[in-house]
Chain A
Amino acid sequence: MRKPFQRRSARHTETAGKHKSFRGFLWIVPSFLGVLVFYLLPYADVVRRSFLGAVDNHFAGIENYRAVLENTAFLLAVKNTLRFTVFCIPLLILIALLCAVVLYRSKYGGIIKSAFLMPMALPAVSVALMWRLLFHSQGMVNGWLINLNLQGSDWMNSGSAFWILVGSYIWKNLGYDIVLWMAGLAGISENIYEAARVDGAGEWQCFWKITLPNLKTSFYTITVLSFLNSFKVFREAYLVAGDYPHESIYMMQHLFNNWFRNFSFDKMAAAAVLESLVLLALILLFQRTLDKE
């Protein structure tokens, strides 16, 4: 008499399991739909367009990719974007970590942390205006230098423009990264430090052997976010120096911006596909490296 019941029960469990997995799928449907509609489908359209003509949509094969890879403006923009990333990201991460560790131990860390976040609250236009006031050939910095009997410079129209942009990026994003690092630091149990200290570990050893390994997850998040935020620096560069800034701060977004204005959708699409592939490869590589460790 029990067998049929047991069979029913087994069948029921199986069905329930299927339901459960199906229910799990349902939970992600809304966000997946969002990603599909707003990211994946447009991306697929960009890939499609990268093989078509700009406006007439004739099939162009890999002509657009060839044109982009031979385009000196594209190569300059890639070089500058990479250079900017290579300088900025490590600098930002290290400075932010240093500040986070100091602030985490400080009694007034919470308040100072908020002060570091202030630049993020400032509108990009105000920041750009400030940079212009400071670094114009007849701006405040040159005024101060002249008062000190030093030679001024046309900062935004020389190689200095790059370093001004690096400074601007670090100044603006430092607070955000500090907050992320501090959140990571807060997640490390104090017991581990106490145990290590009981075993005779010094401050440096604690930092090197406990803090850093435990911040690995935060490191991944912070690096990726900082990397993505580095693309937003275009706003300041554009507002300060316009469509055609000094060649050292001519970024990918300048190029996309100008291509869009001139209906060069073919080149834009091809360049976007190339850029997305490189970015994806970099992020996957970075993730894999961290996972291996």
Chain B
Amino acid sequence: MKHKVWKRTAAMILILLLVWGGLTGCSGSNQEGTGNEAAVKSAEEPNTEGNSGERAMGRFLEEEIETDIAFGNIFDIKKLSDGTLRLIGFNADDGTRGAWDSKDQGASWEKVYDFPEEIQDSDQGYTDRGALSADGRAVCVFNQIEEGVGIKPKLYLLDQNGGGTPIAFELAGSGGENAQEKMIMGVNFLGNDQLLVKSETDKVYQISVEDGSVKHTYEFDGTADTHQVYTAGKKMIVFTSTEALVYDTETGEQLSPEETLQQGLAEAGLFHSLDSLDEGESVYCLSGGGLYHYKFGGSVMEQLIDGKMNSMGAPAFYPITLTMLDEENLLVAANDSNSNSPTGIALLKYTYSADTPAKPDKELKAYSLYDNREMRQSISRFQKEHTDVYVNYQSAMSEENGMNVSDALKTLTTEIMAGKGPDLMILDGMPVEAYMEKGILKDLSSLIGEEGSYFENILHAYQDEQGQLCAVPARFMIPMIQAGSAFYTPGEDFDAFTGRKDALAKMEPKPVVEKFWYTCGAAWKKSDGTLDAAKITEFLTKLKNAYGDYDSSLDEAETGVAMAMDGNTEEIGKLSFGYGDFDLAFGRTNVNIGLCAKLDYGMMTAVNKRLEQGDYGLMPGQVEHVFVPAMIMGINSKGNQTELAEAFIKYLFSQDSQKISQSGGFPVEKEAFRSVIDGHQYAGQDNLVCVGGTDLDETLDYEMTPTPEEEIKKFTELVESLTTPAIRDDVIKEAVSEQGEKVLKGEISPQEATDAIMQKVNIYLAE
């Protein structure tokens, strides 16, 4: 009996343990890469509250330095041995190249010298690269233009006061039309006496500064797409997108692989800049993921700055140089078209603040199906102003996860209903009407700024009967057409346009159908919510008339493009207005149609010049004055950070955020709209552009100038005339484009296609 009791007790304990084990196994606590497994120690790690309950403090804060000098380019910045910061670059105001010093950690800069006259820009050549040594000397790459030879790069050594002497070094295969290595693609100081010079073929020459003699030559197998070369003490570090190679420059031999650095590269992404504070014992590396510190031979690569919390992770941020001032201060020069700098060259200072929490107190979850560059850029700016907020932005569809829209939406539904959904959503590609109807989205009408400053016609695209704005487009695209007078007359309707046989000839059928779906789809919806079959048949019939016979050689071209581009890029690219301008200019197509998301006035004018009475206007359709809402914003009514989401929405519709332009659509705020189309950035500059197509003989030359006032007016009036939002329903679009393609290829009749579309779409609409 006694034994039985023990047995039962033991059995009960075991059962309880099993149940407990099972439940904790399901608890979802997901601690990846703990202990020694993780090569990269996250910048967020220290903030996790320890047993003491104390909050981890300390974070690098970003500040954009506004200088008096409008740097048009920065070649290098170096901290000299006396603590002074020296910068070499290009002054966009006066067009000179020179060196500047700063005694106050980059806050202000004073000119030290101009580059010698012979290496300033002129008809004889131009300087496009340079590097500084710790003793204040500089080396510049002057690309000399020689008659009959072409470009011949020359190295110039500048002493501390700007006195220049040429370095007797020539690339092995340079000079002449058939030269293998025409250009110098990178130059770095190795100590104060040697240089590392990277050629066009990624061959690296280790040369003496004094006489240009080559000490070592490093060659790579050519399988990697890029080789970024840096120096740290006596080491040369080469990053490819997949490998980190370290060389001893004394012997020229490759050192044993640094596996942690390699793993860090895989996790952080390609490093764009590197610096060292201790003669190469350890390095600071900069990538889109942030700033990382690695001590050679170590087992951990420490993330000091998380790129997601500042500009470093922004899509338009391309670092030029990283300068470590000390362990708690650093400067980054970057090419950032969305910075406050008029030239797009930003100088950013990062300072460690011990009083700031390591991780922001509040987390705002943002979600979209497709990655949105404007969103990333806005997040970067918003976080700069709100250091206590971390915006965790996830886009569901990526090349890595292979997820489709349907799966992504189902996952989103589960998360929202479980109370773990995003606070903020970009609704592009989502069933917006269904979400509004089900009460998933919060009314945003009180959040948008004062009336009159926005294009109200666009803003109210999703206004419901009660006047609520649960989904608001922050941007929009315009279906546009450009053609010569033989195939398009400005202002003509769909019937007149499609009445011309072969107007759409030689274009890829599927994108043609998709583009016209935007300008016609809205006409098909009947009041009871079903589709009008007669209108669809009419649409396909007229489109087929304008398309003419299918040219089967397009099949091969289509395959080629598909192989060269990934799925999503291909999809978006083919629909854009800029995709077909070259084909139109060189007569391969009769018209250019597409969704215009940014005004490239110079290009548009250049194309028009090649056409007979070329002009542009709104794309004809069964509905007139159509626009395509983009970056449609919504707040999850079941979210946890509704107030924060509202603050972010307010920011998104502010002029500051609206002025961000990454080709994702025009801003709905009028002033911002003007600023993205007026080409103000080209004012006072002499920007002659030569654009080449796939055929090397086809080039378009044009000048990038500010858009003329009358063009701005014409374009603004065009936007103000837009009244009808295009239907952004992927299910209907997919059905129409699939069947429409078959019609244009002549495989089925318009009536058969309509039947197939109706069959599929009716089920969808009935649901």
Q: By the criterion CB–CB under 8 Å, are B763 and A54 in contact?
A: no
Identify B435's interface contact among A250, A257, A258, A263, CB under 8 A.
A263
Q: By the criterion CB–CB under 8 Å, are B763 and A257 in contact?
A: no
Instruction: Report the bound CA distance from A259 to B756 in whole Å.
Output: 22
Instruction: Report the bound CA distance from A58 to B196 in whole Å.
Output: 72
Q: By the criterion CB–CB under 8 Å, are B759 and A71 in contact?
A: no
Instruction: Report the bound CA distance from A243 to B767 in whole Å.
Output: 12
Q: By the criterion CB–CB under 8 Å, are A55 and B767 in contact?
A: no
Does B215 sit within 8 A of A, measured CB to CB?
Answer: no
Does B439 sit within 8 A of A, measured CB to CB?
Answer: yes
Identify A247's interface contact among B410, B416, B763, CB under 8 A.
B763
Q: By the criterion CB–CB under 8 Å, are A71 and B767 in contact?
A: yes
Instruction: Report the bound CA distance from A261 to B413 in whole Å.
Output: 6
Instruction: Considering the complex, give the chain B residue whose CB is closest to the CB of A238.
Output: B406
Does B610 sit within 8 A of A, measured CB to CB?
Answer: no
Does A262 sit within 8 A of B, measured CB to CB?
Answer: yes
Given known pairs A73-B767, A76-B763, A244-B735, the reply for A262 and B438 (CB within 8 Å) is: yes
Instruction: Report the bound CA distance from A269 to B638 in whole Å.
Output: 21
Given known pairs A157-B756, A247-B759, the reply for A263 and B438 (CB within 8 Å) is: yes
Residues of B within 8 A of A260 (CB): 410, 413
Q: Which of B725-767 contact A (CB under 8 A)?
A: 731, 735, 756, 759-760, 762-764, 766-767
Shortest beta-carbon distance, B415 to chain A, in Å? 12
Q: By the criterion CB–CB under 8 Å, are A71 and B766 in contact?
A: yes
Does A246 sit within 8 A of B, measured CB to CB?
Answer: yes
Instruction: Report the bound CA distance from A73 to B760 in whole Å.
Output: 11
Shortest beta-carbon distance, B567 to chain A, in Å? 16
Interface size bucket, A side? 20 to 34
Residues of A within 8 A of B431 (CB): 261-262
Q: By the criterion CB–CB under 8 Å, are B413 and A263 in contact?
A: yes
Shortest beta-carbon distance, A55 to chain B, in Å? 5
Identify B766's interface contact among A73, A243, A257, CB under 8 A.
A73
Shortest beta-carbon distance, A161 to chain B, in Å? 12
Residues of A within 8 A of B731 (CB): 243-244
Residues of B within 8 A of A54 (CB): 438-439
Q: By the criterion CB–CB under 8 Å, are A255 and B767 in contact?
A: yes
Q: By the criterion CB–CB under 8 Å, are A73 and B440 in contact?
A: no
Given known pairs A55-B440, A243-B406, A246-B759, the reply for A263 and B434 (CB within 8 Å) is: yes
Residues of B within 8 A of A73 (CB): 763, 766-767
Given known pairs A56-B439, A244-B760, A250-B763, the reply for A257 and B735 (CB within 8 Å) is: no
**How does the 8 Å CB contact mask read for B418-448 relative to A, with 1 for contact and 0 for none?**
0000000000000100110011100000000
Q: Which of A39-62 contact B (CB under 8 A)?
A: 54-56
Instruction: Considering the complex, give the chain B residue whose CB is closest to the CB of A73.
Output: B766
Shortest beta-carbon distance, B24 to chain A, in Å? 17
Instruction: Considering the complex, give the chain A residue whose CB is closest to the CB of B431.
Output: A262
Instruction: Report the bound CA distance from A73 to B763 in whole Å.
Output: 5
Does B623 sit within 8 A of A, measured CB to CB?
Answer: no
Does A72 sit within 8 A of B, measured CB to CB?
Answer: yes
Residues of B within 8 A of A17 (CB): none
Does B409 sit within 8 A of A, measured CB to CB?
Answer: yes
Shortest beta-carbon distance, B405 to chain A, in Å? 9
Q: Please report A residues at the B interface, Cβ cutoff 8 Å.
A: 54-56, 71-73, 76, 157, 242-244, 246-247, 250, 255, 257-265
15 example contacts (A-B, Cβ-Cβ < 8 A) are as follows A55-B438, A55-B638, A71-B766, A73-B766, A243-B406, A244-B731, A244-B764, A247-B760, A257-B406, A258-B764, A261-B410, A261-B413, A262-B431, A262-B438, A263-B413
Not counting A54-B438, A260-B410, A264-B767, a sample of 20 additional A-B residue pairs whose C-beta atoms are within 8 angstroms of each other reads A55-B439, A71-B766, A72-B766, A73-B763, A73-B767, A76-B763, A244-B764, A246-B759, A247-B759, A247-B763, A258-B767, A260-B413, A261-B406, A261-B410, A261-B431, A262-B434, A262-B438, A263-B434, A263-B435, A263-B440
Nearest 4 A/B pairs, CB to CB: A73-B766, A262-B434, A263-B438, A72-B766
